[in-house]
Structure 1
Amino acid sequence: MEKPSDNSGFVDSLEKLLQLCEELGQQIDEIGACLYPPQEISSIEAALEKIRNIIDVLRGMQWFLRLMRLGGLQGASDAFLEACNGLRSSLRELASEISSSNTADIEARVENITLTDK
């Protein structure tokens, strides 16, 4: 499908954003699958690293966020950055928990997980 030349950069950015979000979802699913016994700590750590890299790329798309602001989407870009920061914070917490615990401790904690909407 031919893209209009005046919007090609914007469309390419949206496609890249979609690709990164899909990869992010896959890695989050991977972490979820690894939390079931037996916990696969090395796989969780690998997924955490991939997610950190994706967040870095997303945050590096500052020019795209500026373009969103110019298009009247200021609130959307601010919410996007806030979500990235919240995810990064949650990843640090998870990494800290798995690095300071053995598998039995992690299994007990997973049984008591409560999800909250931040």
Structure 2
Amino acid sequence: EKKPVVLWAAYSEYCDQGWDVARCPEYYCEFASACSSTILSSSEGSIESAACGRNYMTTDEFVAFGKDADVWIYTGSGANDVLAKFDDELKDFVSVQNKKVYDPTPPEIQGTHHGTKIVREA
């Protein structure tokens, strides 16, 4: 049986405006494995951020990297705003089309319900 593929990522305006994706090994990689999932992981990206000490992906790199993931766990703040800002680039993501984008940010931080499923209306 095929394991679901998970995209663990968010857009960062702080770190030179790029996409921050999972880098294994980290706790979320172990979590995905324990949940019988495959997490997309990469340390690649053409945006070198001295301020944040790692590379970030451009939007084109991110689309190529994450478009086929079954599920997207959005790990930053402002998920709805980012999805709206990059609507043209992200609308063909499998996770976006199937409404499998989740924001785990606690409500006291973001003003949303914990574990909110992000549903982008057309």
TM-score normalised according to structure 1 size: 0.27
- Choose between structure 1 and 2: higher helix proportion: 1
- Per chain length, whose mean CA-contact separation is higher, i.e. which structure has more relative contact order (CA < 8 Å, sep 6+)? 1
Scaled by the length of structure 2, the TM-score of the pair is 0.26
Q: Greater CA radius of gyration, 1 or 2?
A: 1
Give the strand-richer structure, 1 or 2.
2
